[in-house]
Structure 1
Amino acid sequence: MQPVSETIKLLHRHTSVRQFQDKPVSDELLAAIIGAGQMASTSSNVQAYSVIAVTEQPLKAQLSALSGNQAYIEQCPVFLVWCADLYRLREAAAPHLQGTESYEDTTENLIVATVDAALAAQNAAVAAESLGLGIVYIGGIRNEIAKAAELLGLPELVYPVFGMCLGYPAAVNGVRPRLPLAAVLHHNRYDAGTTVQQAGVYDDISRDYMRERTGGQSDTAWSEMMAKRQTQPSRLHMKEFLLNKGFMQR
């Protein structure tokens, strides 16, 4: 029997929320959620991320348009933009360098900052759900990332990793099943055969889920959806944007 706690139950109830009530999120609540995000693990305590809470309706509308016209960006009371941020690190450390070369522009530090932002965001997501709110991540903020970065006033060495709609759910979707544990949990060595075999098991699970979700209109397997996704080039501008922002110089 697997151990169960209230936290584990909460995590297993997670689902993306795309319809929000017309109910504000108070500054106190937002501070509590972001504060919980700050307690996530961070590489060497660099805390290389920042969060922009967008509440101005015209700005949300602009960001929605840049993110694929996802209406829930406008509908949610708070749109959080989670940014990898090496600018603050560079500027805070500069007075102490005394001419020593600094390496904040490396590919490794881009990874560190991106991971830091993701860890903090997921902490915040769990905190929000524990308080009765809902979230959905928005990768579409990277669709026209240069324009989004300009709108948000992002300096060199800061980029938006993803957005997050935050608010009180007006409707909740069913929980989408994940890959079998055996597909992702390896013991001591990577098991290439098992992970592919378990992806096949997941195809059957995902077909059943899609049939139920669409009322029998679709029964597309996960591997089919992934094959279609992989044949569609996505955001090929990212490398150039990151280089222009000062990332990945070494």
Structure 2
Amino acid sequence: MNSVIETIMNHRSIRKFEEKLLTDEQIRTIVESAQAASTSSFIQAYSIIGVKDPEKKKKLSEIAGNQSYVEHNGHFFVFCADLHRHHVISQMEEKDLSTSLESTEKFMVATIDAALAAQNAVLAAESMGLGACYIGGLRNNLDEVSKLLNIPPLVVPLFGITVGYPAQMTDKKPRLPFEHIYHEDEYNQNESLFKEELLAYNQIISEYYTNRTNGKRSDTWTAQMANMLEKPVRMYMKDFVQKQGFNKQ
């Protein structure tokens, strides 16, 4: 196993950081690593906003559900789906690109581009001895996030990433079985096997939580997912995305 794979396999979310800021050189290295990610048709449909302002980080922390590590970290990155620059291109090249820019397909491209770039950024940070945690809680209130970060049309903040020097290491969460994720030649729809594998995984997760919390928690993965998905959240998202100019076609 080489060092790249070791870094990938050792990933865990870090939620407590030392009070030590990243250097500008570290930030540039992480962003340039993000830029090296694959991008659909070279469209590069994303932007990254680095947040240094303590007051803005505090506000973003509140929006994200009072997650303290959004405020206290080495640096906070916000990854955005971004076709705003392509709107500028339409003006420069005197072409009407609105149908493409407003399409569901290009919104998917922008979202995928941002996700690929983000994972490169996290791997780069972790290879430098730093820790990271994805923050989807920004989507609790994207109107407020957009005001705070001066977001223009055709840009959607998707998630944040906290990066810093780990002050506390967590255990790795066991992932779903390989056989449950990987399908060969066609999608395996054997539900009896699905349920059998999920029951086995439930036992692994229950033991993980029991050991991690000294017996205070022992829930299974399927129960955790069912309880979470039973309560729809952020149902304003379709309207917000369309308001920003995406996903209209």
TM-score band w.r.t. shorter chain: over 0.9
Q: In the alignment, is the contact (CA less than 8 A) between 2:87 and 2:97 conserved in 1?
A: no
Quick check: 1:182–1:195 contact (8 Å CA) kept in 2?
no
Which residue in 1 is equivalent to 2:60? 63
Residue pair 2:17, 2:167 contacting (<8 A) in 1 also: yes
The SS at the match of 1:59 is helix
Q: Report the RMSD for the aligned CA atoms in angstroms.
A: 1.3
- Tell me how far apart the structure 2 counterparts of residues 203 and 93 of structure 1 sit (CA, whole Å): 51
4+ residue stretches of structure 1 with deviation over 6 A?
A: none
Q: In the alignment, does 2:188 pair up with 1:191? A: yes
Conserved 8 A contact 1:86-1:157: yes
Equivalent in the alignment of 2:145: 148
How far is 1:98 from its partner?
A: 4.1
CA spacing shift, 1:187–1:101, aligned 2, 3 Å: same
The 5 Å alignment of 1:17-36 reads 17-36=14-33
Q: 1:102 to 1:248 in 2, by over 3 A?
A: closer
The residue number in structure 2 matching 1:157 is: 154
Task: Report the Cα offset of residue 12 of structure 1.
Answer: 1.1
Q: 1:101 to 1:146 in 2, by over 3 A?
A: closer
Q: 38-47 or 86-95, which moves further after superposition?
A: 86-95
**Could you give the per-residue CA deviations for residues 55-112 of structure 1, whole angstroms, max 9, x where no partner exists?**
1101101111111111111111311100000111221243224457651111111110
Task: State the AA in 2 paired with 1:240.
Answer: D
Which of 67, 72, 77 is the aligned partner of 2:74?
A: 77
User: 1:239 and 1:128 mapped to 2: Cα distance?
Assistant: 32
Does the aligned pair in 1 maintain the 2:30–2:124 contact within 8 Å?
yes
Aligned to 2:234: 235
Q: Which residue of 2 aligns with 1:103?
A: 100
1:208: Cα distance to partner?
A: 1.0
Are the equivalent residues in 1 in contact too, given 2:34–2:120 (CA < 8 A)?
yes
Query: CA–CA distance in 2 between the matches of 1:199 and 1:176?
Result: 15
Q: Is the 8 A contact 1:55 1:77 kept in 2?
A: no
Q: Within the alignment, does 1:90 sit opposite 2:113 as a pair?
A: no
The alignment of Structure 1 onto Structure 2 pairs a total of residues equal to 247
How much does 1:192 deviate? 1.8
Q: Which runs of 5+ in 1 are unaligned?
A: none
* 2:222 alignment counterpart: 223
In 2, are the aligned partners of 1:79 and 1:165 still within 8 Å (CA)?
Answer: yes
Whether the 8 Å CA contact 1:183–1:196 is kept in 2: the answer is no
The 3 A distance-change label for structure 1 pair 57 and 99 is: closer
Letter of the 1:226 counterpart: M
CA contact (8 A) 2:90 2:97 kept: no
Alignment check: 8 A CA contact 1:33 1:127 kept: yes
Mapped to 2, the partners of 1:242 and 1:157 lie a distance apart of 9
What percentage of aligned pairs have identical amino acids? 39
- The structure-2 alpha-carbon separation of the partners of 1:195 and 1:89, relative to structure 1 and needing over 3 Å to count, comes to farther
Partner of 2:11: 14
CA offsets 1:30-63 (integer angstroms, 9 cap, x no match)? 1001101111111001010000000110110111
Match of 1:164, SS state, is strand
Write the distance in 1 (CA, Å) between the matches of 2:142 and 2:97: 33
1:130-149 alignment, distance < 5 Å: 130-149=127-146
Q: Tell me the TM-score normalised to structure 1 length.
A: 0.95
Residues in 1 aligned to 2:30 and 2:96: alpha-carbon distance in whole angstroms? 39
| Structure 1 residues 31 and 201, CA gap change in structure 2 (3 angstroms) | same
CA contact (8 A) 2:17 2:165 kept: yes
Within 2, Cα distance between the matches of 1:98 and 1:237? 32
